[in-house]
Chains A and B, each alone.
Chain A
Amino acid sequence: MIGVEHAWIIPAIPLGSFIILALLHNVLPRKGDWLGVLAILTSFALVWFVVADAFTNYPDHLPGRESLEWIEAGRFRVDLGIHVDEVAIVMLIVVTTVALMVNIYSTGYMQERHGLTAEEQRRLLPATAAAHGGHGDTHGDAGHVESSGHHETASAVPEPRYGWFFAVLSLFAFAMLTLVLADNLLLMFAAWELVGVCSFFLIGFYWERRSAAEAAKKAFITTRIGDVGMLIGIIMLWKATGTFHIQTVLHAAETGQIGHTYLVISALFLLMGPIGKSAQVPLHVWLPDAMEGPTPVSALIHAATMVVAGVYLVARMLPLFEAADLLRVILTMGMITAVFASIVALAQTDLKKVIAYSTLSNLGIMMVALGAGSVTAAMFHLMTHAFFKACLFLGAGSVIHATHTQEMGPLGGLWKKMPITGTTFIIAALANAGIIPLAGFWSKDEILHSIDSHAGVVWFVIALVWVVLSGMYTARLVGYTFLGKPRDQHIYSHAHESPFAMTLPLIILGALSIVAGFPILHEVGNSLGLPGGISEFLLTPGEHAEEFHFNVGLATAGTLSALLGMFITGFLMASPGRMARFTAAIPGPYNLVKNKFYFDEMYQWLIDRVILVVAYGVAWFDRHVVNDTGVDGFSSLLNYTGFRLKFAQTGKIPNYALAIVIGVLTLAVIAFSTNS
């Protein structure tokens, strides 16, 4: 029987799969995709054993602990250990479920590479180009004409790095599960960096395309800014407490063993990690660009799992932030991100970018929930969001697969052509907007409740505005893609429903987008074998268990706000020219939003005008002072001294013999003078 303390097996399986795939993916049948799916399927199954054990005789078996010595040097000691509590279990379920769905989906989606220009295609597969060249020299011209005509003309080629993709997916699953289970900050940081590097690999998976390589670099560097701060925070906490063990650190912080100022500073540094990883303003710029990666990656890493690692970390360490009085900071930061991202999502034309900003906005609201002190609401929303956002991304991928474009401009009316994709997408979108009784409704309700009761009415009103905005961009997203009339007949006529490997995960995730919210209810939780509704056990120590009560006022306010948002967009889109006239009427705000508040331009300016200038000064200092005077100066000094001293070496043997004698005499003199 697998108990909670055996949970380390869950990440170990994908690790093994990664090693085999990375080495052997070219010799395995089907390039080993079945192995990746099998590995994550096994982990997925094992999670349920852990869940079963955890909730048998609840809460006797929690938290599950297991550790072995990792590093020991004097008084410095780090253990390699796991810590399985309720929060971790929820994360395990989310990560393995979404990872399994994405792995299955990828066996369909990743077979071919989409959206290539003729040039890229030729570069990627010279053999294919040559084969097509049989039609004559006109091939290149034809491709050129086609690509100047429509977006979709860029054709698909077989994916050359198919096996490697699954290897990295396995590595990511290993890293993410380790991050979830880690019981000490150092191991967690290692896993944290490992998911970061997987993200880097996968964003830059189409590295032949320059924008993908740039986006990968941007993501890596931007998150690294946060990670450096996080590492400083971890080291500061270690210096104060002498341990990396999370529970011990939390205990020390709660009991006031760390000075308050010191605690605040170290907590702020620690918070930088989540700001970077969970893409909070101002380090959010990498996430929209990360959409350059394959769509399944966007679903898994940049919606459901990795980006919520920051939320998870803050949830885990919430007592520390509470002790440092930083909840208000987290709340404000989250709310800024949430509202900002929702507004930007309104004006994006790229299908995936809209969803990416929607993700940002949801990450922001999770931070708001944490800032309101409610781990329950944040983790619950994390779970439901993972399901419906993965569903949205995979649906978007299905659309890209069918139409070879991810611009919303030429799409429209696809529901008829792609019934399964359309239906699941719309369900997930409604869940995202928070329409009763879909999953998103319950978690948003919980968040609104926590804001209402802990943060105050001003924040509550802002949160309602956020719900309206969510409704607006969701309606726009669905309206442009699946509803209305086709704006490009050519694309429309070629569109088709995706293969079963892709629709199956969509159906499952669509179903989860409907039902994932119900376990909040006491009766549903009980009937599932849980100790009660989610809000009754999913907490950090110190938080009070609270049975969920359906609050009609709150639910009405939330739903009405969402509907209001959807109605506004619907009204604007109902008549063909109305949206264009509306945007033309407010060019200033519209351009501001469309250009994402000029964050990228601002950073570019900052880098060009400030950082590069400072860097130039530092480089000058380094070259002339540190290098020429310091390093080279010392070496020149030594060089010169050596040049002078070398003449003491005559090479004549008698001189050396004399030196020996002088040495002996000196020793004798010393011996006499000290003895007598």
Chain B
Amino acid sequence: MIPMEHVLILGAALFAIGMYGVLARRNAVLILLSVELMLNAVNLNLIAFNVYLRPNPATGMVFSVFVIVIAAAEAGLALAIILRLFRNRRTANVDEADLLKW
């Protein structure tokens, strides 16, 4: 069977790649894609822990369902925000939306 560590390492790799995307990209839609990648890695971890460590009850899986729910909600909202940003500032680049500074 598959050793659990290997599943976890796959999750870690996906997570790190997603995080790199969040930090490196400047386009809001791409950042959103990277965030989805990170959430997916988390899901992988949750399922692996559930399956290997505590098969009963299916807590990890239920959590994954919730994560997917939140991810969907977040995607919808984030896209609406990006839309707004684009309408107001004619750009989807996060480093151009810097009104938050001094």
- Per-residue CB proximity of B57-88 to A under 8 Å, as 1/0? 00000000000000000000000000000000
Q: Is B23 a contact partner of A657 (Cβ separation < 8 A)?
A: yes
A650 — which chain B residues lie within 8 A by C-beta? 98, 101
**Which residues of B sit under 8 angstroms from A657, Cβ to Cβ?**
22-23
With A652-B94, A652-B95, A653-B94 known to touch, is A658 a contact of B102 (CB < 8 Å)? no
B19: Cβ under 8 A from any A Cβ: yes
Query: Is B2 among interface residues, defined by CB-CB distance under 8 A?
Result: no
Binary interface encoding of chain A residues 216-243 relative to chain B, with 1 for a CB under 8 A from any of its CBs, else 0: 0000000000000000000000000000
Asked if A654 and B98 make an inter-chain contact with CB atoms under 8 angstroms apart, the answer reads no
Query: Nearest chain A CB to B84's CB is how many angstroms away?
Result: 15
Per-residue 0/1 for A634-676: is the Cβ within 8 Å of any B Cβ (1 yes, 0 no)? 0000000000001101111110011001000000000000000
- Residues of chain A having any CB pair with chain B under 8 Å: 646-647, 649-654, 657-658, 661
Known contacts A647-B102, A649-B101, A651-B99; decide if A658 and B94 are in contact (CB<8 Å): no
Q: Return the contact of B101 from the options A651, A654, A661 (Cβ within 8 A).
A: A651
Bound together, the chains give a CA A528 to CA B84 distance in angstroms of 98
The answer to whether B102 and A654 touch across the interface, beta carbons within 8 angstroms, is no
| Chain A residues closer than 8 Å to B97, beta-carbon distance | 653
A661 x B98 contact (CB < 8 A): no
The residues of B with any CB-CB pair to A shorter than 8 Å are 19, 22-26, 94-95, 97-102
A661 touches B19 (CB 8 A): yes
- Docked Cα-Cα span, A647 to B98, in Å, equals 12
Q: In the complex, A650→B95 CA distance in Å?
A: 9
Whole-angstrom distance between the alpha carbons of A649 and B98 in the complex? 10
Chain A nearest Cβ from B77, distance in angstroms: 16
Among B22, B94, B102, residue most surrounded by chain A Cβ atoms (within 10 Å):
B102
Select which of B19, B23, B25, B100 is within 8 A of A651 by beta carbon. Answer: B100
Q: Say yes or no: B100 contacts A658, CB within 8 Å.
A: no
- Are A654 and B94 interface neighbours, CB within 8 A? yes
Assembled-state Cα–Cα distance A657/B94 (Å): 12
In the complex, chain B residues whose CB is within 8 Å of the CB of A653 = 94-95, 97
Bound-state CA distance A649–B99 (Å) is 11
Complex Cα distance, B14 from A319, in Å, reads 87
* B23 pairs with A654, CB closer than 8 A: yes
A654:B26 contact, CB within 8 angstroms = yes
Give the complex CA separation of A658 and B21 in angstroms: 11
The distance in angstroms between the C-alpha atoms of A654 and B19, with both chains bound, is 11
Q: Does the CB pair B23–A652 fall under 8 Å? A: no
**Roughly how many angstroms separate A650 CA and B26 CA in the complex, as a whole number?**
15
- The distance from the CB of A652 to the nearest CB of chain B, in whole angstroms, is 5
Q: Is the CB of B98 within 8 A of A651?
A: yes
A653 to B94, CA, bound (A): 7
Instruction: Give the distance in Å from the alpha carbon of A647 to the alpha carbon of B19 in the complex.
Output: 26
Q: How far is the CB of A516 from chain B (nearest CB, A)?
A: 81
A654 to B25, CA, bound (A): 8
19 residue pairs bridging A and B, Cβ less than 8 Å apart: A646-B102, A647-B102, A649-B101, A649-B102, A650-B98, A650-B101, A651-B98, A651-B100, A651-B101, A652-B94, A652-B101, A653-B95, A653-B97, A654-B22, A654-B23, A654-B26, A654-B95, A657-B22, A661-B23
In the bound complex, CA of A654 to CA of B21 (Å): 10
Rounded to whole angstroms, the CA-CA distance of A661 and B21 in the bound complex is 13
- What A residues does B24 contact at CB under 8 A? 654
For residue A361, give the distance in angstroms from its CB to the closest CB of chain B: 74
Report A139 CB to chain B, min CB distance, Å. Answer: 72
A658–B24 Cα gap in the complex (Å)? 9
Residues in B whose Cβ lies below 8 Å from that of A658: 23
Give the shortest distance, in Å, between B31 (CB) and chain A (any CB).
8
Give CA–CA (A647, B102) in the complex, Å: 7
The 5 A-B pairs with the shortest beta carbon distances in the complex, nearest first, are A651-B101, A651-B98, A651-B100, A646-B102, A652-B95
- In addition to A651-B101, A654-B25, A654-B26, 17 A-B residue pairs with Cβ atoms within 8 Å of each other are A646-B102, A647-B102, A649-B101, A649-B102, A650-B98, A651-B98, A651-B102, A652-B98, A652-B101, A653-B94, A653-B97, A654-B24, A654-B94, A654-B95, A657-B22, A657-B23, A661-B19
Provide the residues of chain A in CB contact with B19, threshold 8 Å. Answer: 661
With CB as the reference atom, state the residue of chain B lying closest to A647: B102
Nearest Cβ in chain A — how far from B29, in angstroms?
Answer: 14
Q: Chain A contacts of B22 at CB under 8 A?
A: 654, 657
- Give every chain A residue within 8 A of B23 (Cβ-Cβ): 654, 657-658, 661
Q: Which residue of B lies closest to A653 (CB)?
A: B94
Nearest opposing residue in chain B for A650, CB measure? B101
In the complex, A590→B82 CA distance in Å? 98
With the chains together, A651 CA to B100 CA distance in Å? Answer: 5
Q: How near does chain B come to A563, taking the closest CB pair, in angstroms?
A: 92
Query: Shortest Cβ distance from A506 into chain B, in angstroms?
Result: 80
With A and B bound together, what is the CA distance between A267 and B22 in angstroms? 75
Q: Closest A residue to B94 by CB, please name it.
A: A653
Cα(A661)–Cα(B100), bound, Å? 20
The distance in angstroms between the C-alpha atoms of A658 and B99, with both chains bound, is 18
B63 → A minimal CB distance (Å): 21
State A661–B95 Cα separation when bound (angstroms): 18
- Which chain B positions have C-beta within 8 A of A647? 102
Q: Residue among B25, B26, B101 with the most chain A CB within 10 A? A: B101
Within the complex, the shortest CB–CB distance from B68 to chain A, in Å, comes to: 23
Tell me the minimal C-beta distance from A660 to chain B in angstroms. Answer: 10
Separation in Å of the B101 CB from the closest CB of chain A?
3
Q: How far is the CB of A663 from chain B (nearest CB, A)?
A: 13
Give the Cβ gap from B4 to chain A, nearest Cβ, in Å. Answer: 21
Chain B residue nearest in CB terms to A656: B100
Question: Which residues of the partner chain A approach B94 to less than 8 Å between Cβ atoms?
Answer: 652-654
CB-CB under 8 A from A651, the residues of chain B are 98-102
**CA A652 to CA B93, docked complex, whole Å:** 10
Closest approach, in angstroms, between the C-beta of B82 and any C-beta of chain A? 12
